[in-house]
Amino acid sequence: MQIEGKAFLVTGGGSGLGAATARLLAEAGGRVVVVDVNEAAGGEVAESLGTRGTFVRADVADEGGVRTAIAAALSSFGGLHGAANCAGIGVATRTLGKDGPHQLEVFERVVRVNLVGTFNVIRLAAAQMATQPPDPGGTRGVIVNTASIAAFDGQVGQAAYSASKGGIVGMTLPIARDLAPLGIRVVTIAPGLFDTPLLAGLPEQVRQGLASTVPFPPRLGRPEEYAALVRHVVENDMPNGEVIRLDGALRMAPR
């Protein structure tokens, strides 16, 4: 699918992977609805895109908020052709720690934002894409999700995060099969260690230590590299139902 002139929804678009994706899609000629709960950050990214961007404050797990974002794509750009699910949160809590069992409400919140939120965007975006005419290749839309290598190599304290990302991995193929007759592709990217706000608060010595664990290149991934893969997935019609690790051959140790 050609990006030029197409409209995209980018969740978590106010920072990190989402911001880089929003910018690259706009640079490639796309129109972008930046979705984030952080109004200041999301609005700043959308403003930087000029006429190619608009911002909607929404919680990805809220049906009304996502419907509002899709309506913004229709009113501002005339349709919706792609969605990049980059919104996500993480916690570090052991199943049983010094303060007792993992708080259930914390586990539920991570799963709700990361997994339920991703599915919420998928189902509503697909419903809109299905109403639109296909391109010459038969594509009506492309949806790219963000998992994590924690879905496969979850570390100590990552039960909630790994479960939420593992759920995204697990639903990728069945959703791709569900939507295939409609000409809507679904692909998931599983990033490794990337230089995003999730790691920004760590001491530099810790960040360097993490970077040194990546076989090659021995550094943290750059958000622009994630965005470049999103662009490739959109433009290459063959990737579908697949989970792509983007991790420099990293396999996470237990801790």
Which domain CATH number covers 12?
3.40.50.720
pTM assigned to the model: 0.96
Domain membership of residue 254 (yes or no) is no
For the stretch 103-140, pLDDT in tens is 999 999 999 999 999 999 999 999 999 999 999 999 99
List of residues 6+ apart from 97 with CB closer than 8 A: none
What total of structural domains would you count in the chain? 1
Domain membership of residue 57 (yes or no) is yes
Q: What single-letter DSSP state applies at residue 181?
A: G
Domain membership of residue 240 (yes or no) is yes
Tokens 């304290």, located at residue: 157
**Helices in the chain by DSSP H: which ranges?**
16-27, 39-48, 63-77, 104-111, 117-129, 150-153, 159-179, 197-200, 204-211, 223-235
Known catalytic membership, residue 161:
yes
Domain membership of residue 93 (yes or no) is yes
Which position among 8, 77, 161, 226 bears the catalytic label? Answer: 161
Measured CA distances, 230 to 20, 72, 91, 126, 172 (Å): 10, 22, 25, 17, 15
Query: What residue numbers bound the domain in which 176 lies?
Result: 7-246
Domain membership of residue 252 (yes or no) is no
For the stretch 60-108, pLDDT in tens is 999 999 999 999 999 999 999 999 999 999 999 999 999 999 999 999 9
